[in-house]
């Protein structure tokens, strides 16, 4: 028997509760600082996701009363049409409001929105905007964990966010290849169910036949790359990537450390030995591209990735489990464990048009100098993953749960 899909009211309540579960493991001191300009404090994520519902769902409703005028400035992220905002690199300096005040803000906006939903008093556009707000908050749940991991990694004693048992390992599966037929194919979201605007419109494109690796690149593979001088060979790197290697001193993925001749990695469960059979995680596009060149292969285009993923769309790796928050062993799934870098620049699909108004700034304004990642990761909330999902980050970014999969022509 098919179960009824949860109502938007239930989805809203469940999404909001999960954010509080994730944040609840962090103290007020953990939730306030900002470890780098690209990251945000946990309490900012909690407030900003609330601001989104207040700004885009409630503000246009009759009888709306603004919670605190200063919050519109403090917790706007990048919506120029809304008005001025606090500088992103300085979010960690905002000690007030504290986490108790932000909890009150969340509760007040939730109560107001739930009351209006249950009474049927919302405008016609509000349910769609509420659904967008839920998916927006799921994005920030992943960002919250990414940013908290980066912050905790700077602590000299590697604090634990979530306790979990010892890691398991197994022999690394040999790299095998699955043929994928090309030709004229449709890519992009078909319009049924929720999708972000950047996932469409669905359109035709031509692909040559190719082969895709049956598993992601593993830590064992990466150790071979490192042992063969991967971080010391300029012939493997794009020019900007080689500059990063030299200027930032990269010699291993983010969070790895060489301790007494053995590699360890900082996880949300503290520092642990690197597990060879896990997919490599926290590598930049530059590193992924260099590895692919070293391996005699290449990164897939996002169109190749999407077509290949349809054949195994029912397989899932690790998605967000609040009791784990870490990738599993590399297997045959293309969705889960780690986001996978593609060779594709983040650009609009043919016919893309952003939505009118401030909400149209959600995705389109970032279609410059970014690269597309596909799949999902071990901190992507369940139900937030899709074959057509287009994640994107700058080429140098390493704090995302990002890995790679190889293809060859």
CATH code assigned at 270:
3.90.1580.10
Q: What is the dihedral of CA 356, 392, 278, 266, to 10 degrees?
A: -100
Q: For residue 390, tell me if it sits in a domain.
A: yes
Cis ω for the linkage preceding 201 (within 30 of 0): yes
Reported as half-sphere exposure (CB side, CA atoms, 13 A), residue 41 has a value of: 26
In whole angstroms, what is the distance from residue 293 CA to residue 59 CA? 51
Q: What angle do CA 289, 292, 293 make, to 5 degrees?
A: 90
What is the number of other CB atoms lying within 10 angstroms of the CB of residue 93? 12
With a cut of 50, list the residues of the chain below it in pLDDT: 1-2
pLDDT at 1: 43
Q: For residue 161, tell me if it sits in a domain.
A: no
Domain co-membership, 210 together with 114: no
Domain co-membership, 309 together with 234: yes
Q: Which residues pair with 183 in a beta bridge?
A: 207
Domain co-membership, 253 together with 399: yes
In whole angstroms, what is the distance from residue 82 CA to residue 73 CA? 9
The burial of 234, by beta-carbon neighbours within 10 Å (0-12 exposed, 13-18 middle, 19 or more buried), is given as exposed
pLDDT at 274: 98
Under 8 Å CB-to-CB from 5, ≥6 apart: which residues? none
Under 8 Å CB-to-CB from 398, ≥6 apart: which residues? 253, 254, 282, 283, 284, 287
Domain co-membership, 223 together with 263: yes
Q: For residue 290, tell me if it sits in a domain.
A: yes
Domain co-membership, 145 together with 198: no
Helix (H, G, I), strand (E, B) or coil at 181: coil
**E strand map for 239-337:** 256-259, 262-267, 270-273
Domain co-membership, 98 together with 196: no
Domain co-membership, 275 together with 403: yes
Tokens 């606090």 sit on residue: 86
Q: For residue 30, tell me if it sits in a domain.
A: yes
Q: Which of 153, 168, 185 is the last residue of a domain?
A: 153
Helix (H, G, I), strand (E, B) or coil at 269: coil
Q: For residue 171, tell me if it sits in a domain.
A: no
Tokens 């063969």 sit on residue: 228
State the sign of the Cα–Cα–Cα–Cα dihedral 221, 174, 342, 137. Answer: negative
Tokens 């944040």 sit on residue: 23
Q: For residue 71, tell me if it sits in a domain.
A: yes
Domain co-membership, 370 together with 243: yes
Domain co-membership, 193 together with 119: no
For residue 100 the two structure tokens come to: 């108790």
pLDDT at 119: 82
Q: What total number of domains does the chain contain? A: 2
Contact yes or no for 213/274 (Cβ under 8 A): no
In whole angstroms, what is the distance from residue 28 CA to residue 74 CA? 18
DSSP state of 357: S
Residue (of 336, 341, 331) closest to 316 by Cα position = 336
Q: For residue 170, tell me if it sits in a domain.
A: no
Angstrom CA distances, 56 to 228, 280, 302, 407, stand at: 52, 38, 31, 41
In whole angstroms, what is the distance from residue 329 CA to residue 403 CA? 13
Residue (of 52, 39, 47, 53) closest to 23 by Cα position = 47
Contact yes or no for 388/376 (Cβ under 8 A): no
Q: Which residues of 393-408 are buried (b: 16+ CB within 10 A; e: fewer)?
A: bebbbbbbbbbbbbbe
**Enclosing domain of residue 48:** 8-153
Determine the number of helices (DSSP H) and then strands (DSSP E) in the chain.
10, 12
Domain co-membership, 85 together with 231: no
pLDDT at 5: 67
Angstrom CA distances, 369 to 95, 100, 356, stand at: 33, 38, 23
Q: Report pTM.
A: 0.97
In whole angstroms, what is the distance from residue 80 CA to residue 78 CA? 6
Domain co-membership, 209 together with 149: no
């Amino acid at each position: 028997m098919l179960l009824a899909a949860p109502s938007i009211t239930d989805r809203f309540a469940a999404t909001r509760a999960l954010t509080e579960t994730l944040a609840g493991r962090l103290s007020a001191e953990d939730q306030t600082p900002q470890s780098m300009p690209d990251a945000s404090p946990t309490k900012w994520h909690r407030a900003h996701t609330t601001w989104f519902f207040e700004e885009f769902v409630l503000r246009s409703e009759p009888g709306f009363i603004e919670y605190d005028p200063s919050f519109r400035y403090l917790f706007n992220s990048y919506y120029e049409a809304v008005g001025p905002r606090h500088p992103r690199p300085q979010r960690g300096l905002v000690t007030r409001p504290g986490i108790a005040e932000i909890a009150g803000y969340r509760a007040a906006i939730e109560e107001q929105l739930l009351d209006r939903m249950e009474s049927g008093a919302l405008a016609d556009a509000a349910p769609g905007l509420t659904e967008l707000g839920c998916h927006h908050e799921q994005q920030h749940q992943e960002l919250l964990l990414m940013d908290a991991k980066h912050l905790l990694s700077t602590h000299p004693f590697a604090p634990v966010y979530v306790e979990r048992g010892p890691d398991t390992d197994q022999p690394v599966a040999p790299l095998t290849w699955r043929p994928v037929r090309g030709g004229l194919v449709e890519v992009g979201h078909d319009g049924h169910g929720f999708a972000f605007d950047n996932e469409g419109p669905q359109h035709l494109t031509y692909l040559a036949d190719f082969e895709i690796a049956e598993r992601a690149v593993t830590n064992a593979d990466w150790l071979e790359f490192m042992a063969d001088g991967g971080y010391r060979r300029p012939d493997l790197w794009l020019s900007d990537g080689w500059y990063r290697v030299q200027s930032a001193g990269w010699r291993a993925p983010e969070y790895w450390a060489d301790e007494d001749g053995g590699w360890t990695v900082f996880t949300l469960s503290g520092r642990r030995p690197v597990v060879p059979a896990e997919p490599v995680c926290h590598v930049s596009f530059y590193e992924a591209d260099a590895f692919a060149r070293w391996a005699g292969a290449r990164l897939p285009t996002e169109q190749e990735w999407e077509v290949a993923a349809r054949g195994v769309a029912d397989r899932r790796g690790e998605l967000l489990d609040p009791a784990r928050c870490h990738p599993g062993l590399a297997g045959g799934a293309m969705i889960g464990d780690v986001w996978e870098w593609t060779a594709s620049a983040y650009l609009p699909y043919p016919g893309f048009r952003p939505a009118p108004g401030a909400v149209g700034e959600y995705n389109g304004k970032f279609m410059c100098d970014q690269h597309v990642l596909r799949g999902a990761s071990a901190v992507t909330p369940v139900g937030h993953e899709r074959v057509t999902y287009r994640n994107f980050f700058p080429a140098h970014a390493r704090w995302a749960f990002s890995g790679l999969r190889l293809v060859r022509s």
